[in-house]
Each structure stands twice: as structure tokens, then as C-alpha cells.
């Protein structure tokens, strides 16, 4: 890969909602991070996991803020939010079990879902440890940037 091609790739990624991209071929490995100290988003190397008839374009991602507590009777719960625009998937492929379900205990860094954006499958990791109290999004539905995906009880 030539320097000009790498620069074009960096420019393309900077205009998308992706925070990190890793590309590996027989000839080279390339890892690009938009925000070095933010939520980790991994590109899945198997794009055949899901069939999407209407791909959703990604929007630029601002540095994510700390998870905001949910109001009302769930004021001790924390939201896991989408770091990008895309399509939400609870499983790695249609035949797999969900990454997490209500009642599961998660730890910070654990994959909780996948968001497909521009034909790239991004593993979304929990920023906190706790118990999944509620899944707020239906499988295979579009999500917006900063949209709550899960409610987590940090005391659980």
C-alpha cells in the first residue's frame, strides 16, 4: 500500500463515524484510531455476518462523555450508548446467541453488541461493569449516535 493510498484511507475514515479501524493483509497491518483514549470499537473481519438491505451512513463521532445516569425510578442505572450511527445487532451472526441478555453480568471491555456502519461490523464494548437490566433496542434496527442501547445496574 502506497503512502497516498494510506492518506486517502485516513481521510475517508476521518469523515466517518468510526473511532478505530484495523486492516490486515498478507503484505501489511494498519491500525488507525481517531480518539486514542475513548471507547474501543473493533472492526470485525467477517463482513458476512449480517445481511443489510438498507445500509446506514455513519456520522462523525465526538469524543464520548461519561455514561449519563437514567432519570426516573432507574436513577441508579447507567446507559450503554451507541458511539455511532448504524444498525444494531445483538449477535455476531444470525445463528449465534446474543452477546448479552437481561440479567447477565458484564465487565468493562466486554462486547455487548455489534453496530454495522458502512459495511463494517464494529464490536461495542461496555464501559462499565454491572448487570444488564434492560435491552433498549430491537435486533437489526437502526440506531443513532449517543442512543441508549442497554441499561446497566453497576451495583448488580
Give the pLDDT confidence of 27-80 residue by residue, as tens digits: 767 777 665 544 444 444 444 444 443 344 444 444 445 555 444 455 789 999
Closest residue by Cα to residue 119 from 31, 63, 52: 52
Contact 151, 136 (CB under 8 A): yes
As a whole number of angstroms, the distance between CA 117 and CA 146 comes to: 14
What is the pTM assigned to this prediction?
A: 0.54
List all residues 6 or more positions away from 77 whose beta carbon is below 8 Å from its beta carbon. Answer: 69, 70, 133, 134, 151, 152, 153, 154
The residue ranking higher by pLDDT, 64 or 24, is: 24
pLDDT reported for residue 73: 53
Closest residue by Cα to residue 47 from 5, 87, 2: 87
As a whole number of angstroms, the distance between CA 74 and CA 53 comes to: 36
Is residue 1 very low, low, confident or very high in pLDDT (cuts 50, 70, 90)? low
As a whole number of angstroms, the distance between CA 104 and CA 80 comes to: 14
Give the pLDDT confidence of 107-128 residue by residue, as tens digits: 999 999 999 998 899 999 999 9
As a whole number of angstroms, the distance between CA 51 and CA 45 comes to: 15
Computed over every residue of the chain, the mean pLDDT equals 76
Q: Which CATH number fits domain 38-153: 2.40.50.100, 3.40.50.920, 3.40.50.300, 2.120.10.70?
A: 2.40.50.100
- Percent over 90 (pLDDT), the chain: 46
Is residue 81 very low, low, confident or very high in pLDDT (cuts 50, 70, 90)? very high
Average pLDDT over residues 133-140: 95
- List the beta bridge partners of residue 120: 117
pLDDT reported for residue 41: 46
> Diameter of the chain by CA atoms?
56
Residue 2 pLDDT greater than 80, yes or no = no
Residue 96 pLDDT greater than 70, yes or no = yes
Amino acid at each position: 500500500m502506497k503512502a497516498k493510498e494510506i492518506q486517502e484511507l485516513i481521510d475517508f475514515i476521518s469523515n466517518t463515524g468510526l473511532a478505530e479501524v484495523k486492516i490486515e493483509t498478507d503484505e501489511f497491518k494498519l491500525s488507525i484510531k481517531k480518539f486514542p483514549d475513548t471507547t474501543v470499537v473493533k472492526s470485525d473481519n467477517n463482513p458476512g455476518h449480517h445481511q443489510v438491505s438498507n445500509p446506514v451512513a455513519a456520522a462523525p463521532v465526538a469524543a464520548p462523555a461519561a455514561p449519563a445516569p437514567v432519570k426516573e425510578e432507574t436513577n441508579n442505572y447507567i446507559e450503554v450508548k451507541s458511539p455511532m450511527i448504524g444498525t444494531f445487532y445483538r449477535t455476531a451472526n444470525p445463528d449465534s446467541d446474543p452477546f448479552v441478555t437481561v440479567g447477565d453480568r458484564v465487565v468493562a471491555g466486554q462486547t455487548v453488541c455489534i453496530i454495522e456502519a458502512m459495511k463494517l461490523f464494529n464490536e461495542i464494548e461496555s464501559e462499565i461493569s454491572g448487570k444488564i437490566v434492560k435491552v433498549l433496542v430491537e435486533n437489526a434496527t437502526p440506531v443513532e449516535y449517543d442512543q441508549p442501547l442497554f441499561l446497566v445496574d453497576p451495583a448488580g
